[in-house]
Amino acid sequence: MFSKSPGPIGIFDSGYGGLTILHGIRQQLPEYDYLYLGDNARAPYGPRSFDVVYEFTRQAVRFLFERGCQLVILGCNTASAKALRSIQQKDLPQWDADRRVLGIIRPTAEIIGSLTKSRHVGILATEGTIKSESYNLEIKKLHPDIEVTGVACPFWVPLVEYNEADSPGADYFVKKNLDQLMRIDPQIDAIILGCTHYPLLMPKILKYIHPGIRVIPQGEYVASALTDYLHRHTDLEARCSKGGTAHYLTTENADTFRQQAQLFLHEPVEAEKIILG
């Protein structure tokens, strides 16, 4: 149904957050072509139901396949938690069993074992990701001795999406959720930022967290996991085109995307508006 010729690596997010993943990946794997898709018109996904996140993510992955991607990374924890498995099990075999869709929770869960000494880990994420329990399940599978505590931060994504990450409002919400997490488990020594938007709030997070606690954004670890994956899957690797380019698609206004994306990438980008559904 889809073409077999080499295409860009697709990166999908509900909005801008996946740009932190794209940035991390491009630093380690600059030689590939990338096609980013932000479903900005329908973000945030965090409070949406399982069925809706699955349907929206499915549409986005299909679109990226139609644009020639052989491999798509869900650069969104909410989509990884709620849609990845269904897409891998139900849709891929029907669409094209040779293509791949990967999530970002597993690589983060893998690395956490080496980043905590106290074996008490905190997860900050959207309501959808926390409720799905995906982090708890993945971490427990790999590191049964680690105690996992998750707190949903429903205001953090809107703060980032609406360019309020540096505002006093951000101070209030960041401190509130960090205090909440540390009150539940004061032994936590490593916190996973389990939402790809959250690295944009890093200056505020570091302001309110004890300096001994490690705060872990995902970009670097997802990039290392992808590097390793491509080494192990040479067939698929050969179907990822190598021109060093990045293109951006959004379901919202292209000019707005262009301006906002600069906050994440620190470089000008062009964007194309598309329609999903």
Q: Which residues are catalytic?
A: 76, 195
Distance between CA 89 and CA 101 in Å, rounded?
10
From 23, 26, 99, 197, residue interacting with ligand DGL (rule: CB under 6 A)? 197
Examine residue 93 and say whether the peptide bond preceding it is cis (omega within 30 degrees of 0): no
Distance between CA 206 and CA 124 in Å, rounded?
14
**Piece of the chain touching ligand DGL by CB under 6 A; list 73-81, 90-98, 174-182, 253-261:** 73-81
Residue 110 or 237 with smaller CB distance to ligand DGL: 110
Contact 194, 125 (CB under 8 A): yes
Asked if 129 interacts with ligand DGL (CB under 6 A), we say yes
- The site string for ligand DGL over 157-196 (x = CB under 6 A, - otherwise) reads x-------------------------------------xx
Q: What is the DSSP letter of 26?
A: H
Asked if 15 interacts with ligand DGL (CB under 6 A), we say yes
Asked if 76 interacts with ligand DGL (CB under 6 A), we say yes
The two tokens of residue 152 are 């949903």
From 10, 44, 199, 219, residue interacting with ligand DGL (rule: CB under 6 A)? 44
Q: What is the DSSP letter of 212?
A: T
Distance between CA 24 and CA 218 in Å, rounded?
8
Q: Look at phi and psi of residue 151 and say left if phi exceeds 0, alpha if psi is from -120 to 50, else beta.
A: beta
Residue 124 or 209 with smaller CB distance to ligand DGL: 124
Question: Which residues of this protein are in contact with ligand DGL, per CB under 6 A?
Answer: 13-15, 17, 43-46, 76-78, 126, 129, 157, 195-197
